[in-house]
């Protein structure tokens, strides 16, 4: 089984329903190659610092 989102982009995003939870999932096997950047984005979101990449394409809310 491979985890993948409907648009094939991972989710790296806060979860609105659970304060402080940052979700990073749906990499479909590409997580090994993107781990440094994905981890950096998740850390920036968790710390409230300005991310070096636009987090909009990776938000969980894009599926609403």
- Domain map (residue ranges) of the chain: 11-63
Give per-residue pLDDT as tens, 32-54.
788 999 999 999 999 999 999 99
CA dist 31 and 51 (Å) reads: 19
CA dist 52 and 17 (Å) reads: 25
Give per-residue pLDDT as tens, 5-30.
999 899 999 999 999 999 999 988 77
Question: Which pTM was predicted?
Answer: 0.87
CA dist 52 and 18 (Å) reads: 24
């Amino acid at each position: 089984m491979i985890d993948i989102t409907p648009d094939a982009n991972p989710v790296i995003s806060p979860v609105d329903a659970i304060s402080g939870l940052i979700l990073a999932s749906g990499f479909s096997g590409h997580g090994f190659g993107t781990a440094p950047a994905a981890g950096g984005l998740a850390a920036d979101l968790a710390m409230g610092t300005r991310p070096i990449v636009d987090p909009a394409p990776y938000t969980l809310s894009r599926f609403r």
